């Protein structure tokens, strides 16, 4: 089995074990997330867009001090199911990690917690004697068929969102189709982005934005101490 499906009160979420990737989320067949797919760019390059994935161990570029790819390795490696029920699944990172992160253990739980709510919880554990630098995030592609969105009370046009805009506080994303309430207590830097290659806009909770690119040394909040664990929640609901 390479995917798992969650269902509750007409809501359906499909999660792929490769990348612990939420490939679709819909409410009575109406998309909440833009479904994951491959898009052919103007220059012929292929880009994967849609769904929602974890950014692990970092959000954004890996910077010159690491060998990490954009948004890290969490979205490309295989995860395995460690617990599941019709409304939730817990996945554990199963593939071999890069050498500098071989001691990192990671789990993700996806849950339909209410009739119009989806929750993701990332739990990281450092099993070694020295600290690990982690600055994770989540990367959802919310479906929208309009040219503009409203973040809290600020109106922004999709054509203005590449490169990303960063915000310190976000509560609501208002689209043409619905209003989405978002919360992530420990991931307090939000990236608002769209490249206008499909019907989506991304409002992404991150620990510290592009910190791996912008800082050669780790920030205090990025330091996962030896034998310590830490969890990060991201919840969004819609109406």
Residue keyed to tokens 């919310």 = 142
Range of the domain at 10: 3-145+217-238
User: What is the tally of structural domains in the chain?
Assistant: 1
C-alpha–C-alpha distance, residues 31 and 49, integer Å: 15
Q: For position 64, what pLDDT does the model report?
A: 86
Residues near 88 by Cβ (< 8 Å), separated by ≥ 6? 6, 109, 110, 111, 112
User: Does 178 map to a domain?
Assistant: no
Q: For position 217, what pLDDT does the model report?
A: 84
User: Does 116 map to a domain?
Assistant: yes
- Read off the pTM: 0.96
User: Does 186 map to a domain?
Assistant: no
How far is the CA of 43 from the CAs of 37, 48, 158, 163, 188, in angstroms?
18, 15, 21, 19, 35
pLDDT band at 41 (very low <50, low <70, confident <90, very high): confident
pLDDT band at 201 (very low <50, low <70, confident <90, very high): very high
pLDDT in tens, 87-132: 999 999 999 899 999 999 999 999 999 889 999 999 999 999 999 9
C-alpha–C-alpha distance, residues 26 and 33, integer Å: 7
Residue 44, pLDDT > 90, answer: no
Q: Taking residues 215-222, report their average pLDDT.
A: 89
**The domain that contains 84 carries what CATH number?**
2.70.98.10
Bond from prior residue into 163 cis (ω within 30 degrees of 0): yes
User: Does 190 map to a domain?
Assistant: no
User: Does 211 map to a domain?
Assistant: no
User: Does 39 map to a domain?
Assistant: yes
User: Does 152 map to a domain?
Assistant: no
Residue 1, pLDDT > 80, answer: no
Mean pLDDT in the chain? 95
Q: Taking residues 176-200, report their average pLDDT.
A: 96
Q: For position 115, what pLDDT does the model report?
A: 80
User: Does 128 map to a domain?
Assistant: yes
């Amino acid at each position: 089995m390479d995917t798992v499906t969650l269902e509750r009160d007409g809501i359906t979420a499909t999660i792929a074990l490769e990348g612990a990737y939420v490939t679709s989320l819909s409410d009575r067949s109406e998309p909440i997330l833009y479904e994951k797919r491959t898009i052919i760019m103007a220059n012929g390059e292929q880009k994967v867009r849609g769904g929602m994935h974890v950014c692990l161990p970092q959000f954004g570029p890996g910077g010159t001090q690491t060998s990490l790819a954009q948004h890290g390795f969490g979205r490309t490696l295989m995860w395995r199911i460690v617990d599941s029920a019709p409304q939730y699944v817990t996945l554990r990172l199963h593939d071999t990690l890069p050498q500098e992160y071989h001691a990192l253990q990671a789990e993700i739980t996806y849950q339909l917690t209410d009739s119009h709510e989806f929750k993701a919880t990332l739990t990281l554990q450092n099993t070694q004697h020295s600290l690990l630098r982690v600055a994770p995030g989540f990367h959802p592609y919310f479906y929208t068929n309009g040219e503009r969105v409203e973040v809290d009370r600020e109106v922004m046009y999709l054509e203005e969102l590449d490169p990303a805009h960063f915000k310190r506080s976000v509560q609501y994303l208002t689209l043409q189709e619905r209003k989405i309430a978002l919360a992530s207590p420990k991931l307090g830097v939000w990236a608002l982005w769209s490249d206008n290659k499909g019907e989506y806009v991304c409002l992404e909770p991150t620990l510290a934005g592009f910190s791996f690119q912008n800082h050669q040394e780790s920030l205090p909040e990025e330091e996962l101490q030896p034998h310590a664990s830490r969890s990060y929640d991201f919840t969004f609901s819609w109406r």
